[in-house]
Amino acid sequence: MRSRQFVPEAIGRQPWQVLIPLLGLVSLGAAVLYSAAGGHLQPYAASHVYRFLVFLVMAIVMSRIPREWYRELAYPAYGAICVLLVLVELIGGMGGGSQRWLNLGFMTLQPSELMKPGIILVLARFYETLPAPMTASWRGLVPAGLLIALPAGLVILQPDLGTALAICFGGAVIMFLAGLPLIWFLGAGAAGVVLAPVAFFAFLHDYQRKRVLTFLDPENDPLGTGYHITQSKIAIGSGGLFGKGFGNGSQSHLDYLPEAHTDFVFATMAEEWGMMGGLFVLFVFALVLSWGLRVALRTPDRFSSLLAAGMTATIFFYVAINLMMVMGLAPVVGIPLPFMSHGGSSMMTNMICLGAIMAVNRWYQAPKRLG
């Protein structure tokens, strides 16, 4: 702690015990992307690191924003994102096809990505203001449910099942942590078990249905939709304990692995770095996520702890679904691996989540250190 005297406060106060492993993870990601591009920094690795650094600055800026701003901005931000979602829908409708992004000139923005942290923020704010006794009544459930259903519905229309699920998951975790009666969750779970088959046949698109079926039996269709899962498992399995060595992954280099630089980047990594690389990735995520939860637990006020826990849940959802998919434990859903997959939108979402947790961390660190 004494070292703080030698470094500027803005730097010294950052949660380096998390950021340094994270930097390691991003570097590993960059190395994998470098290899996936056939030993070139372009087009993946350089922009990956560059984006991380830009969004890290953004996260640090976010961490310095006072708590009041977050609270005041929760509803307006939520509303604004919803407007953007509708806008995307309209533009897509006019263009005669589905569209998920807005072209801002300097970058393309997916409003649905923003909604992942957005839903956490607005629900944290909602439950903060909700009088405690009402938590167990319908007034604790229905407005929150509507807050989730609106954006989730809009995103499903796009159609983007993965993101809609992420929004619902984030919302559900906040409701759970906010103390809604457990029986509701158990009931919803039971209803889900009953309704899942109905939803499977009634609401899913053909290609989504196929993905689920393929997940259940990938070898049934090894050259069709089962191809992704099969090739991914081959990549991971053939890597062994220590991998084939940097730049030697045949699955990714010879294009057997689909989406080797985005959704299946973990398989690309595991092929070349082996199980050790995979354990390192899991370890870093464990550090980040447990830190996020610790921040939430350490925080006395309701808004902040819900915010931090929710943001952690969002990152967790990405990690869990992606890794399960890549290892053949979940159907193929287009969800990238945080901090490793190439892609600006997911990097932005995850860094917003990280920035929010860092902010919560900072709100309750500063006074302590002063005192």
Partner 1 sequence: MKWFKPRHVSMATLRNSFDRRSLVFGSLQAGVGVLLAGRLGYLSVTQNEKYQLEAESNRVNLSLIPPRRGWILDRNGAPLASNRADFRVDAIPERMTDPLATVAELGKLLELSEVEIRDLLDKIEKSRGFAPIEVATGLDWDRFAAVSVRLPDLPGVVTQRGFSRYYPTGCTVGHLVGYVGTASAEDYEKERNPLLVTPGYKIGKDAIERVFEHRLRGKPGARRVEVTASGRIVRDLETREDDPGAPVKLTINGPLQDYASRRLGPESGAVVVMDCTNGDILTMASMPCFDPNSFSDGIGRLEWKMLADDDHVPLRNKVLRGLYPPGSTVKPMVALAFREAGLDPDASVFCGGGLRVGNRVFHCWNRRGHGQVNMAKGIYQSCDVYFYHFAQKIGMDKIAEMAKHLGLQQEFDLPVVGQSYGTVPDPAWKLRKYGKEWADYDTVNATIGQGYMLVNPLQQAVMASRIASGRKLMPRLIYTGKPQNAPSLGIPQDHLDYIHQAMSDVINGPGTAGRARLPIEDVKMAGKTGTAQVVGLNISSGKGGPWKYRDHGHFICFAPFDKPKYACAVVVEHGGGSGAAYPIARDVMTFLFDPHKALEMLHGFEEGWGGTAQERLDKRYAAYAAEYGGNAPAVSAEEEKEKVREAEESPADDQPIVNSAQSPRPEPTAPAPAATPTTSGAPAPTASANAPFIPLQPPAGTGQ
Q: Write down the least CB distance from residue 57 to partner 1, Å.
A: 28
| Neighbour count for residue 90 (Cβ, 10 Å) | 11
| Neighbour count for residue 15 (Cβ, 10 Å) | 18
Residue 144 in contact with residue 119, Cβ under 8 Å?
no
Candidates 107-115, 162-170, 213-221, 248-256: pick the segment binding partner 1 (CB under 8 A). 248-256
* Distance in angstroms (rounded) separating the CA atoms of residues 173 and 227: 33
Of residues 222 through 241, those in contact with partner 1 by CB under 8 A are: 231, 233-241
Q: Write down the least CB distance from residue 278 to partner 1, Å.
A: 5
DSSP characters over 20-57: HHHHHHHHHHHHHHHHHTTS-STTTHHHHHHHHHHHHH
Q: Can you read off the two tokens belonging to residue 152?
A: 């989730």
* Distance in angstroms (rounded) separating the CA atoms of residues 214 and 218: 5
Residue 266 in contact with residue 278, Cβ under 8 Å?
yes
Among 178, 307, 335, 340, binds partner 1 (CB under 8 A): 178
Helix (H) or strand (E) holding 217: none
User: Does the footprint of partner 1 cover residue 169 (CB under 8 A)?
Assistant: no
Q: Write down the least CB distance from residue 319 to partner 1, Å.
A: 8
Among 107, 216, 297, 366, binds partner 1 (CB under 8 A): 297
Binding mask 183-222 for partner 1 (x = CB under 8 A): x---------------------------------------
Backbone phi, psi, residue 29, to 5°? -55, -45
Longest alpha-carbon distance in the chain: 64
Name the 3-class secondary structure at 103: strand
Q: Write down the least CB distance from residue 254 to partner 1, Å.
A: 4
Candidates 19-27, 285-293, 341-349, 354-362: pick the segment binding partner 1 (CB under 8 A). 285-293
User: Does the footprint of partner 1 cover residue 132 (CB under 8 A)?
Assistant: yes
Among 12, 153, 181, 189, binds partner 1 (CB under 8 A): 181
- Interface residues toward partner 1, by CB under 8 A: 132-133, 135-136, 173, 176-179, 181-183, 231, 233-241, 250-251, 254-256, 270-271, 274-275, 278-279, 282, 285-286, 289-290, 293, 296-297, 302, 305-306, 309, 313, 316, 320, 323-324, 327-329
